[in-house]
Amino acid sequence: MKSIAKDFSNKDYEKHAALFFTEEGIVVNSHTSSPLLQFGKIVKELGIIINEAYEDGERPFIITCESLLTPDQMMKKGFHIESPKSFLISLQNEKIQQCILRAVHWLTWDSKLQHCSKCGTKIQKVFESTEKKCDSCKHSFYPKLSPAVMVLIQRENEVLLGRSAHFKPGVYSALAGFIDIGETAEQAAHREVKEEVGVEIGELEYFGTQSWPFPDSFMIAFKAQYLRGAIQIDANEIQDAQWFDLNNLPALPSHSSISRKLIESVLLKNKTWTHYE
Ligand SMILES: [Zn+2]
């Protein structure tokens, strides 16, 4: 990640792809539904005033900006602004998804880390990587990741799903929680399941990971077989949890989420595939 805020004279930049972020969200081409826009063209077309600009290797530039156009004027030119979170939820293209995840994580962290937490000196905006260094005490800072675990518990033809108060109405998902300090991901998985629903699980089967920068979660997903215990909900952690038959599942999280992929992997394995919305 390299700050390029003071150097737009470089002609090579003109045709480079860029992601434009305003206070309201990410700028999207309404016709193609893509946020990957041609840097020079869009700056002129939408009357963009650049606040910060970052070069990121072969990836698109990351631009924070304001537009001189109103939302109506922007719409007439074929563009609109969406919240990055809702855009990511509906996005299927994994390559673009990864660019946006990285950009949002970077910008959130960049805006928070204004001063050195060790000596209080203001951190300079110019840097060459995702490392930021305090000019005064030389302490290094890197973007924060908060690791969390997700567990999908299976019992024959059923899965245990729960819902939090902040989920959309009717949506259930695999159980999840943050890893505590000094804990392994596996220990966290067993502990979270026991705390949230009171059941015990057997050996964990690794499924995959996903970064989710709202604000900085890094999710490690597992599958596990049920061992023993009846569901006893911790109301401080979740609103509800139930066993669901694989042929009769509730509303599930969005297709782009790792929780959805985790649940679908069990559906596929059990050949009970139905298209759930
Ligand atoms: Zn310092």
3-state secondary structure of 42: helix
pLDDT, tens only, 135-184: 999 999 999 999 999 999 999 999 999 999 999 999 999 999 999 999 99
pLDDT digits (tens, 9 = 90+) for 54-77: 988 889 999 999 998 999 999 999
Give residue 142 CA to ligand 1 midpoint distance, Å: 14
Q: Which residues contact 184 (CB under 8 A, 6 or more apart)?
A: none
pLDDT for residue 272 is more than 80? no
In the chain the first and final C-alpha atoms are separated, in Å, by: 37
Least confident of 23-27, 51-55, 169-173, 195-199: 51-55
Task: Burial-class residue 40 by CB neighbours within 10 Å (0-12, 13-18, 19+).
Answer: middle
Residue 139, helix vs strand vs coil: coil
Q: How many A from CA of 175 to the centre of ligand 1?
A: 39
Rounded distance from Cα 148 to ligand 1 centre (Å): 29
Q: Cα–Cα distance between 71 and 79 in angstroms, integer? A: 8
Dist. CA 115 → ligand 1 center (Å): 8
Q: How confident is the model at residue 273, as a pLDDT? A: 57
d(CA 120, ligand 1 centre) in Å: 6
CA of 244 to the centre of ligand 1 (A): 52
Distance (Å, whole) CA 150 – CA 223: 8
Predicted local confidence at residue 103, as pLDDT: 95
Q: What does the alpha-carbon distance between residue 7 and residue 77 come to, in Å, rounded to a whole number?
A: 27
Rounded to the nearest angstrom, the distance between the alpha carbon of 64 and the centre of ligand 1 is 26
Question: 3-class SS at 179?
Answer: coil
Phi and psi at 21, nearest 5°, equal -115, 125
Please give the domain boundaries of the chain with CATH numbers for all domains. Answer: 2-112 (no CATH), 146-269 (3.90.79.10)
Give the three-class secondary structure for 204. strand
Cα–Cα distance, 57 to 197 (Å, whole number)? 45
Please report the pLDDT score of residue 198 as a whole number.
97
**Cα of 57 from ligand 1 centre, angstroms:** 27
Residue 2's H or E segment, with its range, is strand 2-3
* Ligand 1 centroid, distance to 110 Cα (angstroms): 16
Ligand 1 centre to CA of 181 (Å) is 25
